[in-house]
Structure 1
């Protein structure tokens, strides 16, 4: 069925959508009823909830990113710990995030996004307060676990909520844009922490982190958009929390995260040990490279496909890690290495989402993306303490050389990862169709 929509009809339809959202009755766009329709998803009432959710997630991840900048030198300086322990304090938050994401994604698919996103803001604030009052490394670790669970609830419960009423043709673009709330927050957080430390103290950073969590909670509380449960969600079980087809691309994603985790855990310590001024801005360079590449490079996922983008960006990440592994390159090596790693990491998320949804189909998309992202968290969890351990025993250069090796293994695994499930099942057929659709959309 083909339908041409006049300007007057378009305005009337947009007004109807806005009115229904205001009254909380819910609105679900059914492309099977209206196809080839030129009405864009662009009403002000549709944008406002998304902007609030984007800002809420961004605030929460700015808080997490700020702790990454400050925590390693804070733990080693105040408590006299080794780089290994500092790596654990960074990485353990990602363990909590990895375990919490599938649960948050499942409840979001079940129409419980609001509860979990608000809970995420509160947990982030509680974790920030824990950093502020902690008197031992053990208390820091507890605060990190709480914050990690909060970050999982924020993003993994928010993205299915955002996409619930978006037309099929717009879902890829909206998902890619909304994803910047998480990745942009992680990139901006270290910059904010560096600015605060120029005029304040570490305690000031912890206070700001706590306030950002509370801000996230308030912003989510202002959202009035209805929640739409997924008709194809899996039962709440171990199998239901691990959708078929999500693990293989998730492993590639997790291995690619190792280099980022190594940078988080030991780069600042490495540069401080060599008395390089780049310790104050290397993470900011990483953040800038990440954001610029994400904005300008996202169309490549549509043009080349997620799998092809994998290969390009992982190679760039390997080269960046090798720059960091050569201490004799000094400040230039540190800056170039951080920038290249930022470029490599930036497009892994949209590329892996494209591959994952092509394999899992329309069954529980929130859970599928959450599981995929959990592997990223696991990569960060392993990278933090392992990089610290290698740095303690063999030096920082060796730790970054291992990061280059792990990224190379991700490249090899990506070569054998199929972009669709075996034919023959309803799930595989829907997954293949969705994968082709996602490849055409901006991620």
Structure 2
């Protein structure tokens, strides 16, 4: 039986994890990435226990993740600094046997790329389409055609392959928020707990990374459209309308919104001032999710993975983690048999992943709806409810997400 060939469309976290997992199960893998470099564009990513367990199952264990875990106690605060909810002592390690780590996306991309054999990744080569060829798949790329036994569509939220395979699907919808993200130096700042602060239609989060830097993010309610969205939420008690600030004005916009919130938020925002000797890059984007779940995550010999399959809001911090899970499960199901067994393996992949990611996506959406509340009365009721919910109840609700185990 010859060596089977997999083409992975997309060199992000999900695509590279799939490439590592497949190559370690004997597949010849080609990753086609449209960008000219694997730069790890983005900010921080939280690797929850379910993602760490998945990575460990393909040989990326604790020795890769140098640095410390998130503080044992993390939670939700109000703009004046009061805690609404905090994890119990010990954090995820005591409950799930693994910590929660936060790393820069670039670090994770580099670790995955280093685990691949030389020559697997082809940069500057976008995939434009696929065609069934009777037992194989012809993959159309900017560098010519490739023939594969299976194609992994990991080409992101605006997946070209998803559009080809499911042309009747409505695609993305605006999730009601815009966000800012940045990674800052932690030098000169005291040790801080990870926390997310909920205001009226606005949020601010800070997460210590394993390398000592600090990942910050902020969100604001906005309407559908681009970064200059003009249909922001209005009405009694609504949060200040999102104005689509010019990139040079991110510091001013964030200071206007969050400068009076609790410490250390003002000090962190000062580090975004573009007049600083080393300006910090701020990423700015609208949030989108799939308007409805896909009917399945495969078509013939093509499997969709990560955002291409189930783009979700970031409220649970599970988008990247679910892509990692997808990749590990897909490689496991493709491990046995030959090329003729691929369609059955992909059907099993859909059956394994579709229900779980659909539930997590819905849960993430519900959390976002709570966090986006802006009317003072609604915010007060929400805060009382969060404060009154024991952490043990919250933890049990997360067990099905964080306690996931990879296939043996």
Could you tell me the TM-score, scaled by structure 1's length? 0.29
Higher strand share: 2
Could you tell me the TM-score, scaled by structure 2's length? 0.31
Higher helix share: 1
